[in-house]
Every structure is written in structure tokens, then in C-alpha cells.
Amino acid sequence: MVIKAYLLTSFNIAWHIQNIILAGIILLILGLLVYMLSYMYFKSIYDKKFEKWSLISDLLIRKAIFYDDDEIEDDTLIPVTARAEKLMHNKYFRKLLVTEIISAKKNITGISADNLKHLYVQLGLEKYALNNLTSSRWYIKARAVQELTIMDMKEFVDQLYSYTDDKNDLVRMEAQSALVQFNGFDGLRFLDTITYPISNWQQIKLLQQLSHLPPSDIDMSIWFKSPNSSVIVLALKLARNYHRFELHDDIISCLDHSDPWVRFEAIQCLTEIYTDETSDHLISRFLNEILKNQLAMIKVMQTIGTDRDVLFLLDLLTYDSDEIKIFAARALAQTSKNGLDSLLEYSGKADQSINEIVMHIKGEIAA
């Protein structure tokens, strides 16, 4: 009886709960509908307003770009209309103006670009950007770093340096790019100290920035000893891209690194930076490598291999892995005349799969 009474009370409570939940759900549906429709309504109003503001900022930017003084001085004032000056107090207008200035600055160089920077400083926009650097929101902080970089505000480089090891990946990426933008290869000094990994995406970005600069003999040896694997990987890519032959021994030492990512990049790097002994280094480590790195090693040997490596490559044709066999056959065919002859001779005695591989390789060569 007690259990029954208890259950009855529970069911009554549940009845009330479900009523409340149902009412709540219906209210939420209505609330969401009102919010969504209001959003669309106000957005259409704001879009019209933004269109007008866009015209004002376009005019301002055009004035700066086509400012007719030959050389703009620090105290020169680019004319700003009273309307624009008044709107500068509106943060949404400022945001729009900065976006448009940045977009224009990215696509122009020379005097026009200097004029845009002048306009940016004249309007005091850098102060807002500096203020945003202290924001607790990562995207505001990252946007501020990006803004100062694009606007070429070199005077804040020391301030930006502290963000190169920020806990947020976007903030540190932008800060690292800023340093490279301002100081070229010397800007890479942040690699000496950073603790967070540099993603492949960021590496692509940094390498692309550096590709516009003349090559440099910057000392990279310290980066090969970094406890941060991604720093070593970036150093390896730099060594490869800029043909830093003097780093051959450092690269070879990376073949024994514990991180397979570092070893992979080191192997790739040896395609460009090698000596007569490089193949021996690869062969001696081949058995202990993971498949991906073994394939990379064979691919390197395709480029740097000599007659000395033919026996090793022929031995690979006995492996179980189809990928190793086909990579080895390709390397043999391209290493030397002796390699191709050995491959053809071997295929005469080998099983059907090797013959198919040889036919495949012949087809590749013919194409």
C-alpha cells in the first residue's frame, strides 16, 4: 500500500512536470520564431545602413589612395568629412572601415599603401586595435594582431612577440606571421622559445610569407635541437626549400628522432640535400621505420640512388607489401640503366605480380 501511494504521488508530480515542460516548449517555439523574424527584419534595416556607411568609407579610402601629394608627411591630414568623423564614434562603422582599409591594403603597395596606413593612424584606429589586444576573446585579440600586421605597424613588434606562444592557436599564428612580416627570416626567432606546436597550416603560411623574401643564411642549428617537434619540422622544410647543404648532418641526426613526423620530414629533405653516403644512412635505418617512412625512403632513393643501391632495391621486391614492391621497382627503373636492367632480369625469374608491376612501371615511363 505504501509503495502504491508513493507511486501515485510520483505520478502526480510527473503529470505536473510534463505540463510545465510542454508549456515551456511551446513558449520556446514562439520565442524562437519571434527572435528569428525580428533578426531578419532588423538585419535588412542594418544592411541598408551598412550600404550607406560603405559608401562613406569607400570615399574615405579612395581619397587616401589617390591623395595627390608626392610624399605624405607625418603631419599631413587626409581630408575627412564631418559625417565620417562623427561616425568614427560608432564601433560598427569603425569595424566596417577597418575591414575595408585592410582589404584595400592587402591588394596595393607603394605610395597608395603608405597613404592608407597614414589614414589608419590619422583616425587613431591603431589605438582601438591595441586595446583589442587585451580582450579576453581570442578572435578579437587575433583580429587585432592581424590588423596591426597588415597595416604594417612595425613599432608594436615587441608587443606582438609576447603573443607568439599564446595559448590560443589563432592568436599565436597571427603573431608569428606578424613577426615574419615585419622582420623576415629574423622574425623566426620565436622558434627558439615556443612551446606550442606549429600546425602544418601555419607552416605553409610562414613558408609562403618567406618565399617573397631573398634567401637568408640564418642560423638554424638551434631549431634542430628543439624539444618542440614542429619546430624541427619547420627547420627541415626551410633547409630543403633554401638548399642549406651545410645542415646535412643535422638532417641525418633527425632520422633517429623519436617522432615519426620529424623522421618523415628529414627523409623528404634528403631528396634535395644529400651526399654520397646519404643512401647508406637511409638503408641502415630502413628496417626500423614505419611503412609511410619506408615508402618515403624508397622515393628519395629514386632521386638520389646509384648503382650501389640496386641490390638493396632488388631485395625490396621480395617484401610482402605491394606498395613497397611497386615503389622499389619504380626506383630501380629510374636509378640507373643498371637498375632497369636488373629489374627486367629479376622479373624474368619472378612471379606474376612482379611482372605486372614491371609492366606498370614500363607504362609509366612510356607515358
Partner 1 sequence: MSWQTFILHFFTYGILLYSLILLICYVLIGAFSISETRSYLHKNSFTDYRLLASSTETPSMSILAPAYNEGANIIENVRSLLSLHYNNLEVIIINDGSKDDSLEKLIRAYDMYKVDFFVGQQVKTKPVRGVYKSYNPVYRKLIVIDKENGGKADALNVGVNIASNDYFVCIDVDCVLEQDALLKLAKPFLEGANQRVIAAGGVVRIANSCVIEGGRLVKVNLPKQFLPRIQTLEYIRAFLLSRMAWTKLNGLLLISGAFGAFDREIVINCGGYNTNTVGEDMELVVRMRRYMEERDEPYKVAFIPDPLCWTEAPSTFKILGRQRNRWTRGTIETLRFHKVMLFNPRYGILGMLSYPYWLFFEFLAPIIEFFGTIGLIIYCFTYAINWSAILIMIGVLCMGILYSIFAIMMEVLTYNQYKERKDILRLVGVAILEPFIFHPFVVWSAIRGNIDLIRKRNSWGEMTRQGFAAEKKVS
Which positions touch partner 1 (CB under 8 A)? 4, 7-8, 10-11, 14-15, 17-19, 21-22, 25-26, 28-29, 32-33, 35-36, 39-40, 138-139, 142-143, 146, 170, 173-174, 197-201, 203-205, 207-208, 230, 237, 291-292, 322-323, 326, 353, 356-357, 359-360, 362-363, 367
Q: How many CB atoms lie within 10 A of CB 114?
A: 16
Q: Are 325 and 357 in contact (CB under 8 A)?
A: yes
| Comparison of 119 and 262: residue with beta carbon closer to partner 1 | 262
Q: Are 239 and 247 in contact (CB under 8 A)?
A: yes
| Comparison of 64 and 332: residue with beta carbon closer to partner 1 | 332
Residue (of 233, 243, 230) closest to 271 by Cα position: 243
d(CA 136, CA 34): 31
* Min CB(61)–partner 1 separation in Å: 20
| Comparison of 166 and 174: residue with beta carbon closer to partner 1 | 174
Q: Are 299 and 327 in contact (CB under 8 A)?
A: yes
* Min CB(326)–partner 1 separation in Å: 6
| Cell numbers describing residue 332 | 630501380
CA distance to 64, 285, 307, 332, per residue, from 339 (Å): 65, 22, 7, 5
Residue (of 37, 60, 166, 49) closest to 115 by Cα position: 60
| Comparison of 21 and 222: residue with beta carbon closer to partner 1 | 21
* Min CB(55)–partner 1 separation in Å: 22
d(CA 231, CA 253): 15
| Comparison of 72 and 267: residue with beta carbon closer to partner 1 | 267
| Cell numbers describing residue 115 | 597613404
| Comparison of 87 and 234: residue with beta carbon closer to partner 1 | 234
| Comparison of 64 and 187: residue with beta carbon closer to partner 1 | 187
d(CA 328, CA 312): 9
* Min CB(9)–partner 1 separation in Å: 11
* Min CB(204)–partner 1 separation in Å: 5
Residue spans of alpha helices (H) in 75-168: 82-87, 91-107, 110-122, 125-132, 138-150, 157-161
* Min CB(284)–partner 1 separation in Å: 24
Provide the residue type at 253 as one letter.
Answer: S
Q: Are 61 and 100 in contact (CB under 8 A)?
A: yes
| Comparison of 18 and 90: residue with beta carbon closer to partner 1 | 18
* Min CB(127)–partner 1 separation in Å: 22
| Comparison of 55 and 359: residue with beta carbon closer to partner 1 | 359
* Min CB(41)–partner 1 separation in Å: 9
Q: Are 264 and 229 in contact (CB under 8 A)?
A: no
Question: Could you tell me what percentage of the chain is helix, strand and coil, using 3-state DSSP and rounding each to the nearest 5?
Answer: 75, 0, 25
* Min CB(67)–partner 1 separation in Å: 28
